């Protein structure tokens, strides 16, 4: 998630919380006014409505708030009315206690449902093995960022990265070691990429990083990623240390591609140019959109 997106989500979250709090307060005031005018003995069950709202919106804390309001309401109600009988007080206390228990239960159930939904939403956006965003999320995000560049200007750059000789690595050390390597690579990418940028597992042993900036900014980041992956060591068969390297390709938008599809193609072509030139290096696309131009290679 980008920094701008994070801020937008925070702002939207605060607005939603404010609207929910206003709706809850309005429901409490309306029900309290009706019960006070008509008679609490007849209409106090209407407090079920704000209780449900509170549990759904604010979980156990909301339920507790409504219950405290209900208790204070009965105190005020009987202060303005005729002296309360013992039975009336007992009924009020019993009703408040039942509301409190029901609210806590409903709030707890709603919280667990909310946590489950958030976990499902997160799992649909990220790759389970590496913890990075998955391919589908990356494609959606790339389209969104390209649209922003088209509308508001600016630049963005794409880095495509691929583990060198990963098939041979798996054949030699086993798929479990290969998975551990992918996890470690994903962690390194997540640590080095800024919050304003995005790192994703593009597929298999291939990764993608999208940044705000030009190809020079992307090249510098790709070099840091290359050196970080080069230093990763996992335990292979027999306990021997196992290493790998990555090759990377960089392309920019809009200077180097007409749209996001061509941006991926340019970065991918630069990546395979790195492979062709000996691997463990970063190649920058020329930055021109004419099909006949050849990517330029910059080695470590």
Token code pair at residue 55: 């549990």
Residue 3: what pLDDT?
43
- Please report the pLDDT score of residue 286 as a whole number: 75
Helix, strand or coil, per DSSP, at residue 259: coil
Average pLDDT across each block of 10 residues of the chain; the chain has 300 residues. List them in order. Answer: 44 76 85 77 73 81 79 66 64 71 77 71 75 91 93 95 94 91 94 91 95 94 95 85 94 93 95 94 73 39
**Domain 135-298 carries which CATH code?**
3.30.70.270
Domain boundaries, the chain: 3-125, 135-298
Give the pLDDT of residue 293.
37
At residue 59, the pLDDT reads 81
List, in order, residues 6 or more apart from 83 with CB less than 8 Å away: none
- DSSP 3-state assignment of 157? strand
* Whole-prediction pTM: 0.61
The per-residue b/e assignment along 234-260, b for 16 or more CB within 10 angstroms, e otherwise, is: bebeeeeebebbbbbbbbbbbebbeeb
Pairwise CA distance, residues 275 & 290, whole Å: 22
Q: What is the pLDDT of residue 159?
A: 97
Whether 247 contacts 178, CB under 8 Å: no
pLDDT of residue 291: 35
Copy the structure tokens of residue 271: 């990546």
Whether 205 sits among the annotated catalytic residues: the reply is yes
Nearest to 213 by CA among 224, 221, 205, 225: 221
Cis peptide before 68 (omega within 30 of 0): no
268-to-12, 32, 53, 262 alpha-carbon distances in Å: 36, 65, 51, 10
Catalytic residue from among 205, 215, 260, 273: 205
């Amino acid at each position: 998630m980008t920094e701008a997106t994070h801020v937008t989500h925070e702002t939207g979250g605060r607005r939603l919380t404010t609207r929910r709090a206003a709706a809850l307060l309005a429901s409490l005031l309306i029900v309290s006014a009706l019960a006070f005018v008509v008679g609490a003995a007849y209409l106090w069950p209407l407090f079920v409505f704000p209780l449900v709202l509170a549990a759904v919106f604010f979980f156990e804390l909301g339920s507790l708030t409504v219950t405290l309001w209900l208790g204070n309401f009965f105190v005020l109600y009987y202060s303005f009315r005729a002296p309360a009988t013992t039975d009336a007080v007992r009924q009020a206390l019993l009703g408040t206690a039942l509301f409190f228990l029901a609210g806590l239960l409903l709030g707890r159930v709603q919280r667990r449902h909310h946590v489950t939904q958030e976990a499902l939403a997160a799992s649909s956006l990220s790759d389970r093995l590496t913890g990075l965003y998955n391919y589908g999320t990356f494609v959606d995000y790339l389209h969104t960022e390209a649209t922003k560049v088209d509308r508001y200007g600016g630049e963005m750059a794409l880095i495509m990265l691929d583990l060198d000789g990963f098939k041979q690595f798996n054949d030699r050390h086993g798929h479990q070691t290969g998975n551990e390597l992918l996890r470690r690579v994903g962690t390194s990418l997540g640590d080095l990429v800024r919050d304003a940028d995005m790192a994703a597992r593009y597929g298999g042993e291939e990764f993608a990083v999208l940044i705000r900036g030009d190809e020079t900014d992307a090249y510098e980041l790709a070099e840091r990623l290359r050196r970080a992956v080069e230093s990763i060591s996992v335990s292979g068969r027999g306990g021997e240390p196992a290493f790998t390297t990555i090759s990377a390709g960089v392309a920019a938008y809009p200077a180097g591609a007409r749209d996001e599809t061509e941006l991926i193609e340019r970065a991918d072509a630069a990546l395979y140019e790195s492979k062709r030139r000996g691997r463990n290096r970063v190649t920058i696309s020329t930055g021109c959109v004419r099909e006949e131009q050849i990517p330029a290679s910059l080695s470590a």
